[in-house]
């Protein structure tokens, strides 16, 4: 059997041909109706199997042409089409003379059976074939045909718009994904960019723009090495080049525009084995680097301050011994003066000797301040006198280029203070002022009495309104900005090069002023100089703050004093002093000896004068044991050492029962008299303080 297949789809034609040839049919193919019409006349097939929808001339037009052609009209015609939506097509096909309308795809065996059935039926009614299509009116055909075609079109339009909607959805999804990706990318704090193998930047996030200081559009398309390093080719340290070789993460450290940047590069594995990509991640580690440097600086400062601490301890130790020596000198000088009498010509020499000892005492004081082991020796002092005393010294410190002006208040400014520490405050401030005026200038120290109201005092962090001694220290130096001003009282804060500043000057000043219940404020602008303002509460006491030498000697005594002192010379001078003033003295070498002698003369002893630091049994232990034996025994303690030590020894009131070495003999005699007479209100309060 000769069969003609008409179909625009070559694959469909091929499938059909294989099936037909399998049943020994002879097959000829055509791709559309027009081609098929020509071929059919020449080939005269026994059967035509045609698709419905084809370009140029479709299946229906082709069928109509076949049935109108006298040489072809007898050939059975079967539609084999997938575009089947209802009975309309089938009806039209049948009305035009088609034998059947088979819906594609159909199982090959069933298809063949159906085809055979149709061909057999045709043969059976041979000659009686009535071609309905020919009798159909042209108008009818056109109406039905256009109807079918319109439906097909509607169908196609519907299909297309579904496809279109699907496409739009995919596009929206893709846009959404890309937006999500970009915002995630931009949310990363680190600068991230992606390069191709030639180091051209394909993508970058916002942090990259921030890092390079240029918009994204100026970055994309440029090479990494031009943007980052201004280089014409990849630089030697390029981590991406290393990734190309190693295939794994590589990193490098760069300094860009003064920032420390860590760059890490990871390879991006491509799915299709195409060109490789590299993702760069850069983080600004400047803060960390700075913190590291800061730590190193702090460590150096710590080392420095530990060194100072050691030097301080050494100085403290020397000062201790020196105090004893000075006490001996001062003691004997005083005694000598007494023995010589008022109008002895040698009296002047002794005065000079004592002046020298006084200066040495001052020196020891500063050594102890430096070693931070000195006693707070609180007494009413006149701030004006302190300024006067320290003036000469300051002039020497600040040098010739700087003029020192002092403006002293008209009235006395009496405050409860440790004169030595207030001096230290002035010295520290003057040194800073000098450092702030490398090319010279003026340093003004002004004192004044001021009244502070509650509001001002509260604002300064205090609580007692009233009269204050005001000290202003003003320089015409470089001044400070806000940042520096905010930190000057912090320990170790310094703007000076290492070796020049310790950053401990102002913290010390601050500490001292606080201990004195005062306030300190700073006023400064860059290039406008600096003023430190100090307020110390005034005291009303009329107690003379003059040196002990101007005080009268106390009356002689008759009591017995037990002296415990390990320094022989010092013990001797104290013995001599007390004996000269009528006292009976029992001398002990140390605590152990003192205890023994106390037991032996318990009824005789009226007062124990104990050195705090002695080998073996120290002042505290001796005090405790004697008080146990005789609870109402009176004591006086002496030490050149630290308030700390005294407190640690557990003796509560150091002010009334304590005398700082080197002691002025007159002061020692007065103290002893006060304690013995009970005029020293505090002495009876001291009791062993157990439990530290």
- Residues near Mg ion (CB under 5 A) are 432, 505
Minimum separation from the CB atom of position 363 to ligand ADP (A): 22
Count H helices and E strands in the chain, helices first. Answer: 24, 22
Of residues 514-533, those binding ligand ADP (CB under 6 A): 530
Piece of 23-31, 451-459, 499-507, 603-611 that binds ligand ADP (CB under 6 A): 499-507
**Residue 20 or 478 with smaller CB distance to ligand ADP:** 478
Minimum separation from the CB atom of position 386 to ligand ADP (A): 20
Piece of 28-36, 500-508, 555-563, 621-629 that binds ligand ADP (CB under 6 A): 500-508
Minimum separation from the CB atom of position 316 to ligand ADP (A): 21
> Count of CB atoms within 10 A of residue 68's CB?
14
Q: Does the N-terminal peptide bond of residue 304 adopt cis geometry, omega within 30 degrees of 0?
A: no
Question: Which of the listed partners (Mg ion, ligand ADP, none) does 502 bind, with a CB threshold of 5 to 8 Å by partner kind?
Answer: ligand ADP
Instruction: Decide if residue 301 touches ligand ADP (CB under 6 A).
Output: no
Minimum separation from the CB atom of position 530 to Mg ion (A): 12
Of residues 323-352, those binding ligand ADP (CB under 6 A): none
**Residue, CB closest to ligand ADP:** 505
Minimum separation from the CB atom of position 472 to ligand ADP (A): 12
Which run of H or E residues covers position 309? helix 286-340
Alpha-carbon gap, residue 559 to 606, rounded angstroms: 6
> Count of CB atoms within 10 A of residue 155's CB?
12
**Residue 133 or 505 with smaller CB distance to Mg ion:** 505
Minimum separation from the CB atom of position 303 to ligand ADP (A): 15
Of residues 527-566, those binding ligand ADP (CB under 6 A): 530
Q: Select from 7, 51, 475, 674 the one that contacts ligand ADP (CB under 6 A).
A: 475
Minimum separation from the CB atom of position 522 to ligand ADP (A): 8
Angle at 606 between CA 601 and CA 612, to 5 degrees: 90
Question: Which of the listed partners (ligand ADP, Mg ion, none) does 488 bind, with a CB threshold of 5 to 8 Å by partner kind?
Answer: ligand ADP
Minimum separation from the CB atom of position 409 to ligand ADP (A): 22
Alpha-carbon gap, residue 180 to 464, rounded angstroms: 64
Residues whose CB falls within 8 Å of the CB of residue 312, separated by 6 or more in sequence, listed in order: 370, 371, 372, 373
Minimum separation from the CB atom of position 431 to ligand ADP (A): 7
Alpha-carbon gap, residue 190 to 266, rounded angstroms: 14
Minimum separation from the CB atom of position 432 to Mg ion (A): 4
What's the Cα-to-Cα distance from 692 to each of 216, 609, 649, 650, 651, rounded to whole Å? 70, 22, 7, 6, 9
Piece of 43-51, 52-60, 325-333, 472-480 that binds ligand ADP (CB under 6 A): 472-480
In this structure, the chain runs to a length of 692
**Helix ranges, 544-692 (H):** 568-580, 591-600, 619-629, 643-648, 654-657, 665-677
> Count of CB atoms within 10 A of residue 198's CB?
9
Which run of H or E residues covers position 471? strand 466-475
Could you tell me which of 541, 538, 521 has the C-alpha nearest to residue 530?
A: 521
Instruction: Decide if residue 502 touches ligand ADP (CB under 6 A).
Output: yes
> Count of CB atoms within 10 A of residue 113's CB?
12
Q: Select from 506, 570, 605, 659 the one that contacts ligand ADP (CB under 6 A).
A: 506
Q: Select from 338, 484, 545, 633 the one that contacts ligand ADP (CB under 6 A).
A: 484
Instruction: Decide if residue 123 touches ligand ADP (CB under 6 A).
Output: no
Q: In the 8-state DSSP scheme, what is residue 566?
A: S
Could you tell me which of 35, 11, 18 has the C-alpha nearest to residue 27?
A: 18
Piece of 28-36, 248-256, 473-481, 533-541 that binds ligand ADP (CB under 6 A): 473-481
**Residue 505 or 640 with smaller CB distance to Mg ion:** 505
Question: Which of the listed partners (ligand ADP, Mg ion, none) does 496 bind, with a CB threshold of 5 to 8 Å by partner kind?
Answer: ligand ADP
Question: Which of the listed partners (Mg ion, ligand ADP, none) does 285 bind, with a CB threshold of 5 to 8 Å by partner kind?
Answer: none
The answer to whether the beta carbons of residues 438 and 399 sit under 8 Å apart is no
**Residue 141 or 492 with smaller CB distance to Mg ion:** 492
> Count of CB atoms within 10 A of residue 184's CB?
10
Residues whose CB falls within 8 Å of the CB of residue 407, separated by 6 or more in sequence, listed in order: 444, 445, 446, 447
Question: Which of the listed partners (ligand ADP, Mg ion, none) does 384 bind, with a CB threshold of 5 to 8 Å by partner kind?
Answer: none
Alpha-carbon gap, residue 539 to 543, rounded angstroms: 10
Q: What are phi and psi of 433, to 5 degrees?
A: -65, -40
**Residue 74 or 533 with smaller CB distance to Mg ion:** 533
Alpha-carbon gap, residue 402 to 406, rounded angstroms: 13
Piece of 251-259, 394-402, 488-496, 632-640 that binds ligand ADP (CB under 6 A): 488-496
Minimum separation from the CB atom of position 370 to ligand ADP (A): 14
The answer to whether the beta carbons of residues 387 and 426 sit under 8 Å apart is yes
**Residue 393 or 489 with smaller CB distance to ligand ADP:** 489
Of residues 432-451, those binding ligand ADP (CB under 6 A): 432-433, 436
Could you tell me which of 396, 382, 445, 393 has the C-alpha nearest to residue 424?
A: 393
**Residue, CB closest to Mg ion:** 505
Q: Select from 371, 494, 567, 657 the one that contacts ligand ADP (CB under 6 A).
A: 494
Alpha-carbon gap, residue 562 to 635, rounded angstroms: 10
Which run of H or E residues covers position 260? strand 259-268
**Residue 474 or 642 with smaller CB distance to ligand ADP:** 474
What's the Cα-to-Cα distance from 143 to each of 81, 149, 681, rounded to whole Å? 21, 10, 135
Question: Which of the listed partners (Mg ion, ligand ADP, none) does 494 bind, with a CB threshold of 5 to 8 Å by partner kind?
Answer: ligand ADP
Minimum separation from the CB atom of position 643 to ligand ADP (A): 23
Termini Cα distance of the chain: 127
**Residue 486 or 615 with smaller CB distance to Mg ion:** 486
Total interface residues for ligand ADP by CB under 6 A: 22
**Residue 444 or 643 with smaller CB distance to ligand ADP:** 444
Minimum separation from the CB atom of position 619 to ligand ADP (A): 36
Question: Which of the listed partners (ligand ADP, Mg ion, none) does 381 bind, with a CB threshold of 5 to 8 Å by partner kind?
Answer: none
Which run of H or E residues covers position 512? helix 505-515
Q: Select from 477, 518, 640, 662 the one that contacts ligand ADP (CB under 6 A).
A: 477
List the strands of the sheet with 201-204, edge to edge.
201-204, 191-196, 277-284, 259-268, 250-256
Minimum separation from the CB atom of position 478 to ligand ADP (A): 6
Piece of 30-38, 490-498, 607-615, 631-639 that binds ligand ADP (CB under 6 A): 490-498
Minimum separation from the CB atom of position 428 to Mg ion (A): 6
Interacting residues toward ligand ADP by CB under 6 A: 432-433, 436, 475, 477-480, 484, 488, 493-496, 501-507, 530
């Amino acid at each position: 059997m000769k069969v003609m297949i008409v179909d625009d789809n070559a694959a469909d034609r091929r499938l059909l041909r294989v099936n037909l040839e399998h049943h020994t049919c002879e097959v000829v193919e055509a791709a559309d109706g027009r081609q098929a019409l020509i071929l059919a006349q020449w080939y005269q097939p026994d059967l035509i199997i045609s698709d419905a929808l084809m370009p140029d001339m479709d299946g229906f037009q082709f069928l109509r042409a076949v049935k109108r052609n006298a040489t072809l009209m007898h050939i059975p015609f079967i539609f084999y089409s997938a575009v089947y939506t209802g009975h309309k097509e089938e009806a039209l096909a049948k009305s035009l003379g088609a034998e059947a309308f088979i819906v594609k795809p159909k199982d090959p065996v069933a298809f063949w059976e159906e085809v055979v059935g149709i061909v057999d039926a045709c043969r059976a009614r041979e000659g009686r074939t009535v071609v309905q299509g020919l009798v159909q009116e042209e108008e009818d055909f056109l109406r039905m045909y256009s109807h079918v075609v319109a439906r097909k079109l509607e169908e196609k339009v519907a299909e297309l718009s579904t496809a279109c909607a699907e496409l739009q959805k995919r596009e929206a999804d893709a846009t959404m994904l890309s937006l999500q990706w970009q915002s995630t990318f931009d949310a990363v704090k680190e600068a991230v960019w992606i390069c191709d193998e030639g180091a051209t930047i394909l993508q970058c996030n916002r942090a990259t723009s921030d890092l390079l200081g240029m918009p994204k559009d100026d970055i994309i398309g440029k090479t990494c090495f031009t943007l980052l390093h201004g280089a014409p080719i990849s630089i030697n340290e390029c981590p991406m080049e290393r990734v190309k070789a190693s295939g794994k993460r590589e990193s490098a450290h760069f300094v860009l525009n003064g920032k420390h940047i860590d760059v890490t590069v990871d390879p991006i594995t491509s799915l299709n084995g195409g060109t490789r990509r590299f993702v760069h991640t850069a983080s600004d580690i400047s803060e960390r680097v700075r913190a590291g440097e800061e730590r190193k600086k702090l460590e150096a400062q710590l080392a420095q301050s530990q060194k100072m601490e050691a030097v301080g301890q050494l100085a403290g130790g020397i000062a201790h011994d020196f105090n004893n020596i000075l006490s001996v000198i001062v003691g004997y000088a005083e005694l000598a003066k007494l023995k010589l009498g008022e109008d002895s010509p040698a009296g002047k020499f002794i005065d000079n000797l004592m002046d020298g000892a006084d200066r040495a005492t001052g020196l020891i004081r500063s050594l102890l301040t430096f070693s931070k082991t000195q006693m707070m020796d609180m007494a009413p002092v006149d701030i004006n006198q302190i300024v006067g005393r320290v003036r000469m010294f300051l002039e020497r410190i600040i040098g010739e280029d700087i003029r020192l002006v002092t403006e002293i208040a008209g009235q006395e400014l009496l405050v409860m203070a440790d004169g030595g520490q207030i001096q230290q405050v002035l010295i520290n401030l003057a040194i800073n002022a000098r450092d702030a005026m490398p090319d010279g200038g003026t340093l003004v120290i002004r004192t004044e009495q001021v009244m502070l109201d509650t509001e001002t005092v509260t604002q300064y962090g205090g609580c007692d309104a009233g009269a204050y001694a005001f000290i202003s220290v003003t320089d015409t130096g470089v001044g400070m900005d806000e940042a520096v001003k905010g930190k000057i009282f912090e320990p170790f804060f310094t703007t000076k090069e290492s070796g020049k500043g310790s950053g401990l000057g102002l913290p010390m000043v601050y500490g001292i002023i606080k201990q004195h219940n005062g306030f300190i404020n700073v006023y400064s602008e860059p290039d406008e100089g600096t003023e430190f303002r100090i307020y110390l509460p005034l005291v009303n006491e009329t107690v003379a703050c003059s040196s002990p030498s101007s005080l009268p000697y106390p009356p002689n005594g008759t009591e017995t004093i037990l002296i415990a002192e390990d320094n022989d010379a010092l013990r001797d001078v104290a013995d001599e002093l007390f004996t000269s003033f009528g006292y009976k003295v029992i001398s002990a070498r140390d605590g152990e000896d003192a205890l023994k002698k106390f037991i032996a003369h318990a009824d005789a002893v009226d007062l124990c004068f104990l050195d705090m630091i002695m080998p073996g049994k120290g002042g505290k232990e001796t005090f405790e044991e004697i008080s146990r034996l005789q609870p109402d025994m009176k004591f006086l303690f002496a030490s050149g050492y630290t308030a700390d030590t005294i407190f640690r020894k557990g003796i509560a009131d150091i002010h009334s029962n304590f005398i700082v070495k080197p002691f002025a003999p007159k002061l020692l005699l007065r103290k002893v008299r006060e304690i013995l007479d009970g005029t020293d209100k505090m002495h009876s309060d001291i009791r062993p303080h157990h439990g530290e």
